[in-house]
């Protein structure tokens, strides 16, 4: 059996990627993890493709400099717009959060409508629609038939730009946040989707509020959980798991104040965050 003891690199525009980090840690407790949050430039979701490409490339360069064995783009906006470029540029494997979520949505929907919510940049890129259609095409003829026989099949993509600021400001269980969720999702619910992809890593922390608005019949897909499963399979298949047991090391790099990151980050992780350092990428 071969092993690879290098760390896994995970990055996001800010705090949201911690929902992915948490799922990775849950099913890969031994691995060393390096998290990068670009908190001095957050949010990405309302910015242009060129800017997101540039920021994502800078962070990947930083992580490869730290000797990571794989990179996980734990940000839907970067995954939508920059993943292919990063995969071309980097010599190590780079994973996004779109494909695992899209694959799971196709599995659970069984031909029913699929809804996706995300930032403006993610939704505008139409990446989810493209990847969901690719996943459907890759199904067996029998499974594909379920979609082909639903002549009204549609993918409903809805940008929800205010949810990231609400989460970043700590409005996590609030009437205002519930009102904003209803404002965005009432029209989505009317399309009777079978599932709702939480296409932004900030959204899983709002699961309970979203559930109150959409009801119990629409299954929520958490990209973080699906991505963690994908990563575990990949490490196993390529025999690059870490050789060791016990909880792996964790280090965090941010571009703005580490104290704010620690404070709100603990709400994401459900435990204290240590080893946070500040990095100035433009130097």
Q: In the sheet where 94-95 sits, what is the strand order?
A: 94-95, 70-73, 8-12, 33-37, 250-254, 276-278
Is residue 256 classed as helix, strand or coil in its secondary structure? coil
Is residue 95 classed as helix, strand or coil in its secondary structure? strand
Stretch that binds its own copies, among 179-187, 210-218, 219-227, 240-248 (CB under 8 A): 179-187
Identify which of 239, 137, 264, 132 has the alpha carbon closest to the alpha carbon of residue 193: 132
One residue of 12, 168, 226, 250 binding its own copies per CB under 8 A: 168
Stretch that binds its own copies, among 171-179, 203-211, 233-241, 269-277 (CB under 8 A): 171-179
Q: Residue 39, interface with its own copies (CB under 8 A)? A: yes
Q: How far is the CB of 273 from its own copies (least distance, A)?
A: 17
Q: How far is the CB of 256 from its own copies (least distance, A)?
A: 5
**Nearest to its own copies of 7, 17 (CB atom):** 17
Q: Which of residues 42-71 bind its own copies (CB under 8 A)?
A: 46-48, 50-51, 54
Q: In the sheet where 155-159 sits, what is the strand order?
A: 155-159, 114-118, 195-198, 219-222
Print the binding letters for residues 248-277 with its own copies: x by CB under 8 A, - otherwise.
-------xxx--x-----------------
**Nearest to its own copies of 52, 97 (CB atom):** 52
**Nearest to its own copies of 39, 201 (CB atom):** 39
Q: Helix 76-89 vs helix 98-109: angle between axes, to the nearest 10 degrees?
A: 120
Q: Residue 176, interface with its own copies (CB under 8 A)? A: yes
Residue pair 223/128 in contact (Cβ under 8 Å)? The answer is no
Residue pair 117/89 in contact (Cβ under 8 Å)? The answer is no
Is residue 189 classed as helix, strand or coil in its secondary structure? helix
Q: Residue 238, interface with its own copies (CB under 8 A)? A: no
Is residue 160 classed as helix, strand or coil in its secondary structure? coil
Interface with its own copies (CB under 8 A), residue total: 27
Q: Residue 40, interface with its own copies (CB under 8 A)? A: yes
One residue of 13, 18, 41, 224 binding its own copies per CB under 8 A: 41
Residue pair 112/48 in contact (Cβ under 8 Å)? The answer is no
Q: Residue 180, interface with its own copies (CB under 8 A)? A: yes
CB neighbour class for 127 (10 Å; exposed up to 12, middle 13-18, buried from 19): buried
- Report, in angstroms and rounded to the nearest whole number, the Rg of the chain calculated over CA atoms: 18
Is the alpha carbon torsion for 74, 78, 81, 83 positive or negative?
Answer: negative
**Nearest to its own copies of 162, 240 (CB atom):** 162
Residue 160 designated active-site:
no
Catalytic residue among 110, 160, 200, 233: 200
**Nearest to its own copies of 67, 170 (CB atom):** 170
Residue 233 designated active-site:
no
CA–CA dist 151, 83 (Å, integer): 32
**Residues that bind its own copies in the complex, under the rule CB under 8 A:** 39-41, 46-48, 50-51, 54, 161-162, 165-166, 168-169, 171, 176, 179-180, 183, 255-257, 260, 280-282
Active site residue ranges: 75, 200
């Amino acid at each position: 059996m071969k092993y690879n003891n290098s760390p896994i690199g995970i990055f996001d525009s800010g705090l949201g990627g911690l929902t992915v980090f948490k799922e990775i840690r849950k099913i890969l407790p031994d691995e060393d993890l390096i998290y990068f949050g670009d908190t001095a430039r957050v949010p990405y979701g309302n910015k242009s493709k060129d800017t997101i490409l540039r920021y994502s490339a800078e962070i990947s360069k930083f992580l490869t400099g730290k000797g990571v064995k794989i990179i996980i783009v734990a940000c839907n906006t970067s995954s939508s717009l920059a993943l292919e470029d990063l995969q071309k540029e980097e010599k190590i494997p780079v994973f996004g959060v779109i494909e695992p979520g899209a694959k799971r949505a196709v599995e659970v929907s069984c031909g029913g409508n699929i809804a996706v919510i995300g930032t403006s940049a993610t939704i505008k890129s139409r990446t989810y629609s493209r990847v969901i259609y690719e996943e459907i095409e890759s199904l067996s003829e029998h499974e594909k038939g379920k979609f082909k026989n639903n002549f009204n099949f549609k993918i409903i993509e809805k940008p929800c730009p205010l949810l990231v600021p609400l989460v970043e400001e700590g409005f996590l269980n609030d009437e205002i946040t519930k009102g904003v969720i209803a404002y965005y999702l009432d029209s989505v619910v009317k399309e009777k989707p079978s599932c709702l992809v939480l296409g932004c890593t900030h959204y899983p922390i709002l699961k309970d509020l979203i559930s109150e608005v959409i009801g119990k019949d629409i299954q929520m897909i958490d990209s973080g959980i699906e991505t963690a499963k994908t990563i575990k399979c990949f490490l196993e298949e390529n025999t690059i798991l870490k050789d060791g047991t016990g909880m792996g090391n964790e280090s965090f790099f941010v571009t703005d104040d580490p104290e704010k990151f620690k404070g709100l980050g603990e709400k994401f992780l459900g435990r204290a965050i240590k080893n946070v350092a500040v990095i100035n990428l433009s130097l």
